[in-house]
Structure 1
Amino acid sequence: MKRSAPLVRDNASNKRLKHDIPAYHLTPQQRDAKGQAIWPAPREQIHHAQKIILDCANSKQNTLLVPDKDADGLTSGAILYTTLVLLGLPQDRISVHLLSKGNNVFSEVELAAVAAYEPSYIFVLDHGSRVGPPLLSRPHTALVIDHHQTTPSDFPTGAAYVTACDSPPVATSSLLTYLICEALHSDVESKCDWLAIIGTHGDLGTNLKWEPPFPNMADPLKRYSKKALNEAVSALNAPRRTAEYDVSSAWDALRQACDTDDPVAGLKKLLQNSRLRAAREEIRLEVERCTHAPPKFGRDGRVAVLRIRSPCQVHPIIATRWAGFLAAKKLEIIMVANDGYLEGKVNFSCRVAKSARGWDRPPNVIELLEEYANQADDEKLRTRLGENFARGHKEASGGIVDKDVFEGLIKTMKIGEKPPAEEGKSGGTPKKSKGPPPQRNTLLKYFEGKSQDNERL
């Protein structure tokens, strides 16, 4: 269906820009010296991770899981939790730590909280990673399971890791965790396949084709119903987006669903959870309130910035909506900046514009942000932007920076300045866009042009 609102463009054409975006599973794979595909991660990393999990279960020692707050991270944690119990680790030996609002697992506050559990084994799931000292000062074994953009040096000292980031098509952390654990116990598949689907759809979208190299999930998609699984994505994501940052409600609901004898009944129970329903409605209303902020383009036309103020984490959703709607010849990324989420900070999310996803070399958000930061007249701007700048994925990145530092970045990007060809021209004010139609906050939308069936609020 055609939308009545015109797209914002640098020409008078009423036709949409065309994109030739291949299906995600068809992304060319990396291969080793023997010609074998390296997927979902390097084999030596997978085997090492499996050994650590088995050693952990056999040790019967205190174990700490630190999953990320979104559907992919929470299901990664649930898959590993279930696997460890199946392998014989008593549940009273397993603790779960959920981060506080605005923190990352490598901050001093969170590392102190991690140390308080006195774990012998620590599993960090879907948080990304960065170089730093050991997670604990006492003897321990740490494993990072992840899929965010990293290099081999971007991990805590002494921590083992398994990452999917260099093994396209990049698997989600939940799918990677599932494929690691599936070989360790015969019941992992039946108890965790639905979790892997929820986490994967959470990051890659509901249009993902479960075709090679992805595992065949036809049976669980039919057994649980694709609609119910996609509804679970929205339900699990909503609490962490609220002003209350109620991640624990999502984790508790997920664990209760996993603890039922019948996982299908457990999923139905999760979808009926009153707290998750209320959180989802809160976010729906907040997205609607904030989504009509007007975009401003940079002087080079490569970036459009929308500024909002909300106590809720709605900036990623709005960035994805606008990325599928706003189009211009030079436009590469959409940035949505929220100065109301954390006191004294600007949280911003960037997404690749749909009109640029079909380019021979699609934009790399992380590289573009770094490029702008390094162009600043202020030579110290990049240092002031800190370690929470330009993190995540090539297609979806962002940051958390001080307000004054963010203004320095905006100045460097020349947001709101007319390009040279337009300077000195007279004319009327350009028509304002009415705002984007609903779209889904998924990574797969950077690769597929079809609209998603599920609103991931």
Structure 2
Amino acid sequence: MKPQIPSQRWQIQAFNSEQIDSVVEATGLSPLLAQVLINRGFIATEETQVYINPESETLPDPQTEFSDLETSIDLILEAINEEETIIICGDYDADGMTSTALLLRTLRYLGARVDYIIPSRMKEGYGINTRIVEECAANGVGLILTVDNGIAAYDPIYRAVELGLQVIITDHHDLPETLPPADAILNPKLLLETSPYQGLAGVGVAYVLAVTTAQKMGKLKGLTSQLLELFTLGTIADLAPLVGVNRRWLKRGLRQLPKSNLAGVQALMQVSGVNDQQKAVKPDDIGFRLGPRINAIGRISDPQTVIELLTTDDEGVALERAMQCEQINSKRQEMCAEIEQEAINYLESGEIDWLRDRAMVIVQENWHHGVIGIVASRLVDRFGVPVFIGTYEGENQEKIRGSARGIPEFNVFEALVYCDDLLGKYGGHKAAGGFGLETKNLDAFRERLSEFAHQCLEPEHLKPLVKIDGKASFEDLTANLYEQIDSLQPWGIGNEEPRFLSENVTVVDQRIVGKDHVKLKLGQDINGKLVTKSAIAWRWQSYFPLPKTIDIAYKLRENQWNGQVNLELELVGFRLPQETTYQEATYEYEGRTYSCCLWDNINELRIENDQGNVLIVNRGSREGQLKTSSQELKTINITQNPYYQIIKGAIEALSA
């Protein structure tokens, strides 16, 4: 009976008392949070003050940063004055759809003749294409404006120039060797790495263009807040780094969202349960509630639903579109859960040895391409290895289309480049990518990826990574500490939320809640007194029940229930206390097979029968706990039979 412990690698940041004292003195933050800032690279007083108050930094004029910004503004103003049609070519993810909606709202407000096109995810794939360009030319379009795409579309842009169309590219993806021959290109990757605009997502570039164009026309008043809200939604949903201008603008945007005047944002918040108008919206509210409902449409439905949601001023239409987002997202969740389970079943069948290969390649039929990227991310979280997941296409399944997700030590885009001769169309960046290949190349692709993975990964890398900012005792976990952490929102990509470690924690009580979550009451001995905290562990049913004594990694949360607000720990990992060892054995008792495990240091014995029932016993106690198939823990008297005889058999088996 193997112990059910998360297979994780913990990276615990070193403690530097001198630096901590300096940051505490400069900021007034607690030593624990000062350690967090140091871990994020903020040590100098000036840097720290800007981090705490992003709006104190003086930003450079975007027109001095983006060399083509003035040209872009002039092209848009010319199109408006000449009453030429502007077409926005967007994308079907949350970034692309919020970018499209943002520029639609802006250009309509400024009096432009404007419409949009988003290519079909299933039929055409990502980005502007020659079909779109030629259709625009045939319909007399004067200006094409790409959002969240276009930087790698040399041939379609070249065709647009041939046909006499003007083109502005706004994008944030990596630069190709040869830039397209557009009239203007706005991309933060063209800026110096020190630029505060470097981390903008596609919607951030669209926001800069929209604001500066409206300013040039003297019509920014009445537009700013709605653009900021769309920027906030798209930036967080796209997992853009929350640094530089992103952090500065998001701090305002998150405060603005609860008071939104956009009918679509109000409706989306209503159907997703984000409706506390007294507090700023948290990045997690967007990342786990609002964003997925937007993204679900682009993945498996028609992006027009989201564009209408985010551009309408009609409350009835907004609510109808928000409900459609809700329904499609529920369908997306079901599809993801089904595909994830099928993938896990396939892995458990042993058909591929991903530990040997150091990369996981899974291809199955009848999986929806729009959601396999989400499943890839979940598999990375679960197994801690790079995942390349695909599904067959074509009448004879002669092609494969897939998505990839990586781990910190593995560059997905470089891996795809390494397999260039085996692939069709592909693209991506360090953490994620998409690819296509002919089915006949699958085995060679798997071998080539394994070859690449062996060049950058060691066996110890093949576990999910948990980064921990510092050690904390339960007496450190105060309401004041949480308020300080909350005041430094937004936390997110590139500025991860603090995670702490507490050692030798006692599991006082635990139970399954919902479908597969674990609710716990935890305690820690502080100077002879047991200090307790409540905790939640999402999707931890497979670890239930947890051992009696553990070390925990967690984030702090505020739990609001029945009008009361309490501090809660959100567990992200646990381990047995250091140097804990275990013995295991199998034995027979009255015609049944039992397996048992003894964790020595924490004095916990576990016995499991062939029906999956588990008996947990702690040395010195006359009571034990019995977990049955209903996932409930029942307290029983272990001095009574049959428990006494079962335990006696386990001890004899372990001593043999």
Q: Does 2:333 correspond to 1:284?
A: yes
Q: Between the two structures, name the one with larger relative contact order (CA 8 Å, sep ≥ 6).
A: 1
For 2:164, what is the secondary structure of its paired residue?
A: coil
Does residue 235 of structure 2 align to residue 200 of structure 1?
A: yes
* 3-state SS of 1:324 partner: helix
**Corresponding residue of 1:175:** 204
* d(CA) in 2 for partners of 1:5, 1:445: 30
Distance 1:270 1:142, change over 3 A: farther
* Of 117-126 and 176-185, the range deviating more from structure 2: 176-185
1:119 to 141, 150, 156: 141
Match of 2:189 among 154, 165, 178: 165
Opposite residue 179 of structure 1, the aligned amino acid is V
Match of 1:438 in 2: none
Match of 1:236 in 2: 294
How many angstroms does 1:283 deviate by?
0.6
Shift of 1:315: 1.2
- How far apart are 1:238 and its partner, in Å? 1.1
Q: What is the aligned partner in structure 2 of residue 57 from structure 1?
A: 80
- From 310, 323, 326, the equivalent of 2:383 is 326
Judge which range, 230-239 or 201-210, deviates more.
Answer: 201-210
- Structure 2 residue matching 1:142: 3-state secondary structure: strand
Task: Tell me the number of residue pairs that the alignment of Structure 1 and Structure 2 aligns.
Answer: 379
The alignment partner of 1:211 has SS state of helix
Which letter does structure 1 place at the counterpart of 2:235? T
- Mapped pair 1:144 → 2:169: yes
Check whether the contact 1:345–1:401 (CA below 8 A) recurs between aligned residues: yes
Query: What is the CA distance between 1:36 and its match in structure 2?
Result: 8.7
**Which residue does the alignment assign to 1:413?**
449
Distance change (3 Å), C-alpha of 1:401 and 1:113: farther
Q: What is the deviation of 1:46? A: 2.7
Shift in CA distance, 202/270, structure 1 to aligned 2, threshold 3 Å: farther
The Cα of 1:300 is off from its aligned counterpart by 6.9
For 2:307, the equivalent position in structure 1 comes to 251
Change (3 A) 1:221 1:118: same
Partner of 1:424: none
1:66 aligned residue: 89
Task: Sort the Cα spacing of 1:42 and 1:299 in 2 relative to 1 into closer, same or farther, 3 A.
Answer: farther
Indicate which of 52, 68, 71 corresponds to 1:48.
71
Distance 1:299 1:211, change over 3 A: closer
**Aligned twin of 2:404:** 350
- 1:190 and 1:55 map into 2 onto residues whose CA distance is 26
The residue type paired with residue 74 of structure 1 is M
Q: Distance in 1 between matches of 2:131 and 2:495?
A: 37
The 3-state SS of whatever aligns with 1:193 is helix
User: How far apart are residue 211 of structure 1 and its match?
Assistant: 2.9
CA 1:221–1:105 in 2, change beyond 3 Å: closer, same or farther?
closer
- Given candidates 364, 370, 373, the residue that maps to 1:316 is 373
8 Å Cα contact 2:423-2:437 kept in structure 1: yes
> Is contact 1:64–1:95 with CA below 8 Å preserved after alignment?
yes
CA contact (8 A) 1:54 1:87 kept: no
Larger mean CA deviation between 278-287 and 403-412 belongs to 403-412
Displacement of 1:116 after TM fit?
3.7
- Matches of 1:229 and 1:320, distance apart in 2: 18
Q: How far has the Cα of 1:144 moved from its partner?
A: 1.0
Partners of 2:369 and 2:66 in 1: CA distance: 40
Give the letter for the 2:329 counterpart.
R
**Counterpart of 1:367?**
414
TM-fit CA distance, 1:408: 3.1
Q: After superposition, what is the alpha-carbon deviation per residue over 1:275-295, rounded to whole angstroms, capped at 9, x for unaligned?
A: 222211111001000113145
The reply to whether residue 129 of structure 1 matches residue 151 of structure 2 is: yes
Alpha-carbon deviations, 1:21-52, whole Å to 9, x = none?
A: 976999xxxxxxxx997979942133332332
Query: Which ranges of structure 1 fall in alignment gaps of 5 or more residues?
Result: 9-14, 27-34, 357-361, 374-381, 420-432, 434-443
**1:19–1:449: 8 Å Cα contact kept in structure 2?**
no
d(CA) in 2 for partners of 1:223 and 1:179?
22
Instruction: Please point out which of 59, 81, 97 is paired with 2:117.
Output: 97
Residue segments in structure 2 that go unaligned for 5+ positions in a row: 14-35, 48-57, 215-219, 261-274, 276-280, 456-462, 464-491, 499-554, 558-656
> Which of 314, 337, 340 is residue 390 of structure 2 equivalent to?
337
Q: Is the 8 A contact 1:352 1:446 kept in 2?
A: no
- Contact kept in structure 1, 2:69 and 2:184, CA below 8 Å: no
What residue is the counterpart of 1:428 in the other structure? none
Shift in Å at residue 365 of structure 1? 1.8
- The 5 A counterparts of 1:427-438 are none
1:309-338 deviations in Å (ceiling 9; x for gaps): 3135111111222223323xxx5x322223
2:433 is paired with a residue of what secondary structure? strand
Query: Are the structure 2 counterparts of residues 63 and 134 from structure 1 closer, same or farther at C-alpha, using a change threshold of 3 Å?
Result: same
| Cα distance in 2, alignment partners of residues 298 and 142 from structure 1 | 45
Question: Which secondary structure does the structure 1 equivalent of 2:375 belong to?
Answer: helix
CA RMSD of aligned residues (A): 4.1
Mapped to 1, the partners of 2:226 and 2:330 lie a distance apart of: 30
Q: TM-score, normalised by structure 2?
A: 0.50
Fraction of identical pairs, as percent: 18
Query: What is the rounded CA distance, in whole Å, between the counterparts of 1:337 and 1:85 in structure 2?
Result: 40
Taking a change above 3 Å as real, the CA distance of residues 234 and 299 of structure 1, as seen in their structure-2 partners, is closer
Is the contact between residue 149 and residue 394 of structure 1 (CA under 8 Å) also seen in structure 2? no
